[in-house]
Chain A
């Protein structure tokens, strides 16, 4: 079988091939599909998060005043919030499985990881969902500066990187409380430079981190009224970041913060950092310098217009030349497997708790990617070696052996599945081995466990 752009696009840039739909035929079709990853009707908003916060507070007050029934109501709601992380995994899987182009949902995964947040405890779970729906999805197809600003001023990021309690040492807020140990916290400022924009290799200094931390004071989330900026907490006066002064005149405002993020987003160091990161995620752990340079050039020329940068990525010869150099991460692996098996998003959304656990939550954890809990703000590792090690590969093989049989009323014929799932890209070794399996179940498992299928 021959294969071309459609197969490469689906396998490398989307969530693989599906028995229900054709892969995108052209780069235009692939790129147009990114719009499908915009916030959906089920988008979770900050207002939803606030409502959940209010409800929890009311239930907590009622519990303190009431008896057993009130305590149970409070605990039940806490458990409901705690399960939102798994609901999020379920929703994301369902959208990935159904998306025609798939590239948009892959970009959601990429950018949500680039701007890693992690909810601490049940109460923060609504904010994690809102982060992806309100800071990432609306900006996938826009300018990077808008995503950078939205992500780094989103309440979940302010909480995760400790901006919430960072207070200008000379701010009015601080001066009214001389006895309390209040002051700067430089966590968000550092990661905004190191991880989110310039990259660690760029020539910024500890002084730049410090000045940016001062400039970011005032950013603080108040769950009561949804505000994210409190001028009274901001450090007065101008701050100099990378040689440019911000916030010199007038009272502190969010506009100064928008201005610094805009400038950071357009810097050539940011162009180079993000071009390489996109290429390393989609093409190869050690990407071709030609495609990196081409993307960085478009980034610089357009000031970080993402669709134009994506176009370079998806039309470059490196797309074909570096085929199978990437290993699918566990989320990608599970979504791609379900899609190849013909499972639909509707079926996935129908999973009750038990199926959620055995088909999604537990397997992804054993594969090394416990949902919503990367170990640091740099997100999940990119290299194949991080994902294909003995225990993690054992978890993939076990998934391939057990889940299809539990999930499908009837298993597909492995010989058909080979073409459906791999579209002519399968190796001779796999094509040779699949018909020799002892059972349909093992034939299906060999395909899903194969390096052909686990690589992209």
Chain B
């Protein structure tokens, strides 16, 4: 699970160039195949900065869903939006963090789950994994220097402080598991993917990290390119690191909300509503666009400015959990995503 923080413009990533309104709403961005995007199916085109993922698309290992959103509406705050995305609840703003993240609630329902089952990778806080079930967390460039005696004493010092005790216990176990830094502008993203793969090749079944840098209010062409190159690097690093296990892997990359359908006055887009979900991996039925396209005409928009959500993004996550971990529908609708109606199976897993 990759959380894309800052609101990715789904319309620019998977460009619906077949919708005649797109050209009218956007002049300098999302310019379709004539601007270098790769045609996907005659209606959508892939942003040029995801070119490196085209082999996955051709191989049926990359797909996306358009016009999806969480139940969050109207306030368009990144931070509330992310809280809700990670909490997996309905639109009761501010309540989200109190019940923890939906991946943590999944762990609480998984028979035989251990603290190794899920991993938060990197030093960003991952609220999606926070909650009662224990999870591991480590960063590819982390390091710990401590003698055995000092470690024993620290265990005593931290003994009555669960926050420090648990973090130190994992740090002690994981010291030496780091892998140093990767070079270049996408090196940090690549390191996240490679490290997550090492865990997934062992006992871990769920890994999560985040990539920031999507808030493209101005000069979107440059801002989005940098962010997409990092996203592509992390996905390709996962594939490389996972080797044969890639065939059994599902990668979901999701963001708090989409962006306005109209280009704004500064070559960018402002906070919107529906966005896009990226799916990758050998377990995905790829080379397909999922979701119903609502259209870009004035009377098809949400609040006259945003792409209209046609499906709750939680339904995709829920169907994935059902297929991958055998979680029952009632558990999904009541415990993991309270208030969700599962609806029809989008069928995106092979």
Contacts and interface: CB of A to CB of B under 8 A. Distances in A.
B228 interface: no
A389 B174 CA distance: 12
Contact of A393 (B5, B147, B167, B270): B167
A33 interface: no
Nearest to A454: B164
A344 interface: no
Given A186-B270, A383-B125, A397 B264 contact: no
B160 A376 contact: no
Interface stretch (B75-83, B231-239, B335-343): B75-83
Contact of B147 (A206, A366, A376, A442): A442
Main secondary structure of the interface of B (DSSP, over half): loop
Contacts of B171: 390-391, 393-394, 397
A376 B80 contact: no
B94 interface: yes
Contact of B5 (A201, A375, A401, A450): A375
Contacts of A200: 75, 77, 79-80, 93-94
Contacts of B175: 394
Contact of B156 (A164, A388, A395, A432): A432
A394 B217 contact: no
Contacts of B265: 165-167, 169, 181-185
Contact of A391 (B77, B93, B137, B271): B137
A10 interface: no
A386 B303 CA distance: 35
Interface in A166-184: 166-167, 169, 181-184
A392 interface: yes
A452 B266 CA distance: 49
A184 B150 contact: no
B168 A376 contact: no
Nearest to B122: A391
B149 A442 contact: yes
Contacts of A181: 27-28, 263, 265, 267
A185 B168 contact: no
A5 B143 CA distance: 37
Given A200-B80, A393-B168, A385 B163 contact: yes
A376 B215 contact: yes
Contacts of A190: 76-77, 270-271
A206 B76 contact: yes
Interface residues of A, number: 61
Interface string B245-277: 000000000000000000111111011000000
B124 A449 contact: no
B212 interface: yes
B34 interface: no
Interface in B167-189: 167-168, 170-171, 174-175
B123 interface: yes
Contacts of B271: 186, 190
Contacts of A385: 125, 130, 163
Given A165-B266, A185-B217, A450-B157, A442 B150 contact: yes
Contact of B149 (A183, A377, A438): A438
A201 B74 CA distance: 12
Interface in A368-422: 368, 375-378, 381, 383-386, 388-395, 397-398, 401-402
B132 interface: no
B79 A401 contact: no
Interface residues of B, number: 62
B11 interface: no
Given A376-B5, A393-B171, A206 B303 contact: yes
Contact of B144 (A206, A378, A397, A451): A397
A368 B123 contact: yes
A33 to B, nearest CB: 31
Given A184-B264, A394-B171, A429 B154 contact: no
A162 B263 contact: no
Contacts of B266: 162, 164-166, 185
B270 A185 contact: yes
B218 interface: yes
A260 B35 CA distance: 42
B136 A381 contact: no
Nearest to B264: A185
Pick from B28, B120, B124, B154 the residue with the most CB of A within 10 Å. B154
Interface string A429-448: 11011001110001001100
Contact of B164 (A206, A395, A451): A451
Contact of B142 (A164, A182, A391): A391
A390 B138 contact: yes
A359 B142 CA distance: 16
A167 B267 CA distance: 12
Given A185-B218, A185-B270, A401-B146, A375 B124 contact: yes
Contacts of B76: 190, 206
Interface string B113-148: 000000010111100001000001111011111110
B158 interface: yes
A375 B4 CA distance: 11
Contacts of A367: 123
A187 interface: yes
Contact of B218 (A162, A201, A401, A432): A162
Contacts of A169: 265
Given A392-B139, A442-B147, A451-B161, 9 more contacts: A162-B217, A183-B265, A185-B217, A368-B124, A390-B167, A390-B170, A390-B174, A397-B144, A445-B150
Interface of A: 161-162, 164-167, 169, 181-187, 190, 194, 200-201, 205-206, 327, 366-368, 375-378, 381, 383-386, 388-395, 397-398, 401-402, 427, 429-430, 432-433, 436-438, 442, 445-446, 449-452, 454
15 contacts: A162-B218, A181-B263, A190-B76, A376-B5, A376-B78, A383-B125, A390-B167, A390-B168, A391-B171, A392-B167, A401-B145, A429-B159, A436-B153, A445-B146, A446-B153
